[in-house]
Amino acid sequence: MGPTDGLTSLDDALARLLPQAGPVAGTETRPLRQALGRILASDQTVPADVPPADNSAVDGYAVRVADLAGQPLPVSQRIPAGVAPEPLTPGTAARIFTGASVPDGADAVLMQENVSVDDAGLQTAQQPEIGQNIRPRGQDLKAGSVALPAGTRLRPQELGLLASLGIAEVPVYRPVRVAILTTGDELVPPGEPLPPGKIYNTNRFTLDALLQQMHCDVVDLGDVADTREATTEALKQASREADLILSSGGVSVGEEDHVRAAMEALGDVALWRLALKPGKPLAFGHVGDTPMLGLPGNPAAVLVTFLVVAAPFIRRLQGAADRHPAYPHLPADFTVHRPSPRREFVRARRVLREGRAWIEAHPNQSSGMLSSACWAEGLAVVPEDTMVNRGDPLTFLSFTDLLG
Ligand SMILES: Nc1nc2c(c(=O)[nH]1)N[C@H]1C(S)=C(S)[C@@H](COP(=O)(O)OP(=O)(O)OC[C@H]3O[C@@H](n4cnc5c(N)ncnc54)[C@H](O)[C@@H]3O)O[C@H]1N2
Ligand code: MOO
């Protein structure tokens, strides 16, 4: 078999994999301050109009527009924010402040910069429209409507919106538990001396941090020796404790690559080898009933396969609604002369040149290299079997977009 024969396209792989991930069973109620990043488990309806009353958008004077024919208008009341006003006495104006309730009978608010006020009352040359500078009751949200549907990820603005409804705690899905195991006899934990032939374990830290950013609970099974027995034991433990298992390394074709064989023996390997660069040897299957993604060992392949395969899978386990973001297409400031049958995710960043944004690719795309991922702010997508000339538009996925 040639190096690209029998590879599954990324789109086919995702189409097979994602429907297998449904929301985890189990919800919990969280106070707003402890709900950041979590996924709403039920629709949140609006209990009462927001804002609850017509209120002023400016500091100034509330008037009835028709009364302006009889200027000057005496100032009959003062309405700071937080006070319930009296109805506006006909033929008068009310001093009012931003956010304060507009009195019944008033139909516009004049900015204080546009009026003069003396002992006789208020005068203005303005001809306000009806409703000017009034934020109407229910402008933000109407009672009974759905403010946020189930499946919404709670960002700072959603938490603020829930507070504006008077909601103090929300039902959210429980965190997804993801087990990580890193395999390889060459691995040494950082902080220890490095004997000849060894390298520091990189992927354990990248994966742990990616999962933290996705608000998952991490079950860290640590470094697993390159033996069938150790791998089997670790996978069994992972399947008992986690909703998803992520491993790094040991999925390629060498005889030291035990992960795929152990996975097959304990469950199944439904998919192996994707038309993806980096990340070709990725394996998907199950250990018992627990889904598992066996990511390749190369550190940049771990990052890319997590972002493009594991992250969408995790979002579904979390109960997050599907997203269909329109990613920007930007001209490439690089070339690809040799088309590849694997879709390539190129470590890249945006640069301003000639008055517009271009995608600059790191010159070294080795999948063993993380320094290019640190230089980058995202991934440019080079489609399968495609040459790239300078200026050709490519999709740019920022790391932030991919983790959202
Ligand atoms: N004959 C073939 N060899 C390889 C193929 C192939 O198709 N035929 N594919 C290559 C590709 S592409 C990749 S990617 C790697 C993936 O192999 P594995 O997933 O089995 O990973 P390992 O062999 O265990 O490790 C690969 C590489 O990554 C380093 N590594 C592993 N874990 C860590 C870690 N936690 N921290 C830092 N670095 C790690 C490991 O030392 C290796 O250098 O296979 C190619 N070979
Ligand atoms: O698919 Mo591998 O991840 O290129 O190095």
**Is 154 within a domain?**
yes
Average pLDDT over the chain reads: 95
**C-alpha triplet 17, 23, 24: angle, nearest 5°:** 110
Q: ipTM score of the complex?
A: 0.95
* pLDDT on residue 1: 43
Over 80: is that where the pLDDT of 253 sits?
no
Mutate to test the pocket of ligand 2, among 280, 305, 379 (most ligand atoms within 8 A of CB): 280
Query: Does the C-beta of 248 come closer than 6 Å to ligand 1?
Result: yes
User: Which atom of ligand 1 approaches the CA of 280 most closely?
Assistant: 12
Over 70: is that where the pLDDT of 3 sits?
no
Is the pTM for the entire model greater than 0.95?
Answer: no
Residues 168 and 247 placed together within one structural domain of the fold: no
Percent of the chain whose predicted confidence (pLDDT) is above 70:
98
Is the distance from CB of 245 to CB of 287 less than 8 angstroms? yes
Half-sphere exposure of 181 (CA within 13 A, CB side): 29
Over 90: is that where the pLDDT of 124 sits?
yes
Is the distance from CB of 154 to CB of 172 less than 8 angstroms? yes
Give the separation between CA 302 and CA 13, rounded to whole angstroms: 17
Query: Does the C-beta of 201 come closer than 6 Å to ligand 1?
Result: yes
Over 80: is that where the pLDDT of 254 sits?
no
- The arithmetic mean of pLDDT across residues 258-273, rounded, is 92
Ligand 1 center from residue 250 Cα (angstroms): 7
Place of tokens 């060498």: 254
> In degrees rounded to 5, what are phi and psi of residue 400?
-65, -45
Per-residue pLDDT tens for 211-247?
A: 999 999 999 998 898 899 999 999 999 999 999 999 9
Ligand 2 center from residue 299 Cα (angstroms): 9
* CATH number where 344 lies: 2.40.340.10
| End residue of a domain, out of 173, 194, 228 | 173
Give the separation between CA 176 and CA 26, rounded to whole angstroms: 10
Query: Does the C-beta of 296 come closer than 6 Å to ligand 1?
Result: yes
Residues 289 and 373 placed together within one structural domain of the fold: no
> In degrees rounded to 5, what are phi and psi of residue 318?
-75, -15
Which residue type is seen at 375? Answer: W
Closest by alpha carbon to 157, among 146, 143, 147, 142?
A: 147
Residues 245 and 365 placed together within one structural domain of the fold: no
Enumerate the β-bridge partners of residue 217.
Answer: 177
Residues 44 and 168 placed together within one structural domain of the fold: yes
Measured distance between the N- and C-terminal CA atoms of the chain, rounded to whole angstroms: 38
Ligand at shortest distance from the CA of 258 = 1
Per-residue pLDDT tens for 69-97?
A: 999 999 999 999 999 999 999 999 999 99
Residues 265 and 181 placed together within one structural domain of the fold: yes
Over 60: is that where the pLDDT of 114 sits?
yes
Q: Which residues contact 356 (CB under 8 A, 6 or more apart)?
A: 331
Is the distance from CB of 79 to CB of 106 less than 8 angstroms? no
